[in-house]
Amino acid sequence: MNLPLVTVIIPTYNRADLLPRAVRSVLNQSYTSLELLVVDDGSTDGTAEVMKGFEDSRVRFLRLETNQGQCGAMNAGIGAARGEWVCFLDSDDEYLDTCIEKQMAAVQAADSEALGVVYVLSGERTPDGRIIPAHFYTLQGDVYAGALTQGYVAPSITLLIRKTCFDTVGLWDTEFRCFQDDDLCIRLAKQYHFEVVREVLAVVHRDAAGQLTRNRSQYAAGWYQLIQKHEGEILHVVGRAVLAKHYVRAVKLFLDVRNRKRAWEAARHALQAAGSVWALGHIAGSLIGESLRKRYTIWKARRS
């Protein structure tokens, strides 16, 4: 039986010390019909030399002469990919050995052209080697309304995407520095069905410098950018209360980084969406409760 080819794209920039872990996790996959495409986004360290140490016919190395950012590098990878399915692994993270095998098993079981994405759950590896679940939401099927309500489906390293989907929804949006995976998932969800493998098979590490999610100002701006881009669809599909809730979250994120100007701007959008101060207060209260429940879930997972 000829298995569909899967292309794993690793965009990387100046992570020669961490890249081998990610590469080995791909080459150790139990699913054998794959190619690994490492896209060097203009690194100035020893990335090219590190990659020369992997003598495996499945490995391809694409160097971009100028830094294009993560989205630009992933888009270059899509253009060069030979696989029918593609997935994306950050250069400081890793897959567990059966990740792609279980995703492709879900593809085969579904046997549907409507299926565009299969994702797994993610976890964080602690310094003592344990893996703590970090992803607790498992939308599947027609997930568009759920994606707009949550503002996300799954992080980029958990996604296996049919390559032809990009012809329909477009590539990664290079305007984003954060929340680019959520933007892509929302666009994919509008057109395609999602399936989920309910196992932690993609592992995030927090040992890399320059992780964008640590920049709280960029994080706040990214969430606001995401909601602004999809504002019309959020309002039309899931309603004013959800849109207001998303803007309230933007207010909180901007206040956390003391950006009062952007916080007031987001607050005006939130009030306009909510329709009244009373409704806005109710929405803000529900958001606080939701945040507390999420924190409790994470705390409980870390304790187990």
Contact 267, 259 (CB under 8 A): no
Q: Which amino acid would we find at residue 85? A: W
Contact 25, 94 (CB under 8 A): yes
Would you write out the chain's pLDDT as a tens digit for each of its 304 residues? 689 999 999 999 999 999 999 999 999 999 999 999 999 999 999 899 999 999 999 999 999 999 999 999 999 999 999 999 999 999 999 999 999 999 999 999 998 889 999 999 999 988 888 898 887 788 999 999 999 999 999 999 999 999 999 999 999 999 999 999 999 999 999 999 999 999 999 999 876 554 555 689 999 999 999 999 999 999 999 999 999 999 999 999 999 999 999 999 998 899 899 877 666 666 565 655 455 455 544 445 555 5
pLDDT at 298: 47
Best CA proximity match to 279, nearest among 256, 257, 247: 247
pLDDT at 296: 41
- CATH level 3 topology of 6-212: Spore Coat Polysaccharide Biosynthesis Protein SpsA; Chain A (3.90.550)
Residues 203 and 107: their CA atoms lie apart, in Å, by: 21
Helices 216-229 and 180-191: angle between axes, nearest 10 degrees: 20
Q: Which tokens hold the place of 52?
A: 């020369």
Domain boundaries, the chain: 6-212, 215-303
Burial category of 278 from C-beta neighbours within 10 Å (exposed 0-12, middle 13-18, buried 19 and up): exposed
pLDDT at 203: 96
Contact 172, 94 (CB under 8 A): no
Residues 179 and 253: their CA atoms lie apart, in Å, by: 14
DSSP 54: -
Residues 260 and 232: their CA atoms lie apart, in Å, by: 25
Q: Where are the beta strands (DSSP E) in 149-301?
A: 159-162, 193-204
pLDDT at 299: 46
Burial category of 163 from C-beta neighbours within 10 Å (exposed 0-12, middle 13-18, buried 19 and up): middle
Note the pTM of the prediction, 2 decimals: 0.90
Q: Are strands 131-133 and 193-204 parallel, antiparallel or unpaired?
A: unpaired
pLDDT at 278: 62
Best CA proximity match to 102, nearest among 205, 6, 204, 2: 6
pLDDT at 21: 96
Residue 55's CB is within 10 A of a number of other CB atoms, namely 6
pLDDT at 302: 55
